[in-house]
Amino acid sequence: MATPRSSSPRSDALLDSAPLLGGGGRRRGALRRPSLRGTARLLRQGGRRAMREPSLLVRETAAEQLEERQADWAYSRPVVALDLLWNLAFILTTAVVLVLSGDESPSVPLRIWIAGYAVQCVVHMVCVAIEYRVRHGQRGGSSMAADEERGTDGSSSSIDDAGESGPHGRIGYFASVAKHLESANTMFSFIWWIIGFYWVSAGGQVLTHDAPQLYWLCIVFLAFDVFFVVFCVALACIIGIAVCCCLPCIIAILYAVSDQEGASEDDIRQIPKYKFRRVDEPEKQSVTMIESSGGIMIECGTNQPIEKVLAAEDAECCICLSVYDDGAELRELPCGHHFHCACIDKWLHINATCPLCKLNVRKNSSSSGSEEV
């Protein structure tokens, strides 16, 4: 069942089109999402010893799917509005405190650090606004490309080539500038945080008497940064562990909150269903089978059912990591990969591709239906 996975340019593009912030964002980290780009790499590097290759590929695909969903969620209108309001509150607080603390004389340049912090908020707001407009401006073109993708490969490639020129190229340029600017802003924020922590520590308790308002504002900003970084790292670890150990729960959550169109009920019903029958040892001796045979897949709903022998290492579902029980209902996708019906049906409702090889089930079913006509 383990098949070599070819690198998919489309999946790589999904990872590259993630939101501006990775897991290292500062005060806006809780409003964005922890990046899962590293999760797939960790699964590839450290997971090969813990699980078999097909199971590892399924979890890499699930991590990419989560990345795509979180990218859409992070740039939805409510989240972007909350992000902008949150950073605007920091800017207004900075302005008010700088005005009210005009008579304070700190021994370290706290005003410069607070002003620099506010400038970073302004840069972040500009970058988020640009990225939001770019994404929503491309939404119409993306939906047209998704419709055309169900056709021939040649037509989809022509759309991709057309999108690289003209106004789309200019939009991509602005998006690239915004991403580079936000990345530089994030890197600078770490350096600025260290500088602020040093100045506050160097000033000591004297600052509470000489410049109490500036001092406590710096403490609040520094504390917020630490809280959001710890929160993002902890959330990314929890999601990574859940993808590895409890993938069916992740699929169920994605299925419950899914707002994107996957495979329809008709598409899923067209996929053949099988019933697994485990082969006992006496039966193995009477039938000419290989020693490592784990069971037989018997097609359901046909007068002349097809029987397929499964090796022992292939008689398990790569989604839930459970061995096929006797009488379990399975589905075999057009690519030949098989899973529990309950597991793969929820997956296909979210994403109409095989979780192992990413074959489009809808495209295959529509082409087979046209051949029958």
Q: Do residues 315 and 289 make contact, with C-beta atoms less than 8 angstroms apart?
A: no
What are the pLDDT digits (tens) for 112-136?
Answer: 999 999 999 999 999 888 888 887 7
Q: What is the 3-state secondary structure (H, E, C) of 316-356?
A: ECCCCCCECCCCCEEEECCCCCEEEHHHHHHHHHHCCECCC
pLDDT for the residue numbered 13: 40
Residues paired with 299 in a beta bridge: 274
Model confidence at 179, pLDDT cuts 50, 70, 90, reads confident
Decide: residue 38, CB within 10 A, 0-12 exposed, 13-18 middle, 19+ buried.
middle
- Residues recorded for the chain: 373
- pLDDT-wise least confident of 118-132, 135-149, 254-268: 135-149
- What are the domain boundaries of the chain? 10-245, 265-372
Above 60 in pLDDT, residue 245?
yes
- The CATH classification of domain 265-372, taken from the options 3.30.40.10, 3.90.1640.10, 1.10.10.10, 3.40.50.11750: 3.30.40.10
Residue 71 confidence class, pLDDT cut points 50, 70, 90: low
Which residues are registered as beta bridge partners of 331? 273, 339
Task: Give the pLDDT score at 372.
Answer: 44
Q: CB atoms < 10 A from the CB of 131, how many?
A: 20
Furthest-apart CA pair in the chain: how many Å? 96
What are 180-239's pLDDT values in tens digits? Answer: 888 899 899 999 999 999 999 998 889 989 899 999 999 999 999 999 999 989 988 887
pLDDT confidence tier of residue 146, bands split at 50, 70 and 90: very low
- pLDDT band, residue 68 (cuts 50/70/90): low
Q: What is the pLDDT of residues 307-321, one digit of tens each?
A: 888 887 788 888 887
